[in-house]
Amino acid sequence: MTERPMQEPTLLLLTALADAPRHGYALLQEVATISGGRVKMRTGTLYGALDRLLGQGLIHVVGEEIVDGRARRTYALTHSGREILTAEAERLRTVAAEAERRLSMPRLRGAYST
């Protein structure tokens, strides 16, 4: 991955896998929970993102079972995925801390409109 900020769907999926392996439907639920209901990922988006993350080596399949005649894969973070998520969390903490620092500074006169 490059040094550019992580796309939100990627961040949410990796975060959803940070504490436990999950299958697709559970990932959809976790993404909604983590985002406070703001993000409701569509199934096509989910599986496209999972394929991309598998290809990048950030996640891997840890199990597969047949449920109601359909394959259910369970995904987990790889070591590389955990490192990437850790770095992104640190980047976000740094940016948030700077935003809070600047917001706590006294306003310059005339710097802001109502």
pLDDT of residue 73: 94
Helices (H), 3-110: 8-17, 24-34, 43-55, 79-104
**Cα separation, 86 vs 88, whole angstroms:** 5
Q: Walk along the chain (114 residues) and give the pLDDT tens digit of each residue.
A: 446 789 999 999 999 999 999 999 999 999 999 999 999 999 999 999 999 999 999 999 999 988 888 888 999 999 999 999 999 999 999 999 999 999 999 887 666 655
Q: What is the pLDDT of residues 21-46, one digit of tens each?
A: 999 999 999 999 999 999 999 999 99
Rounded to the nearest integer, the mean pLDDT of the chain is 91
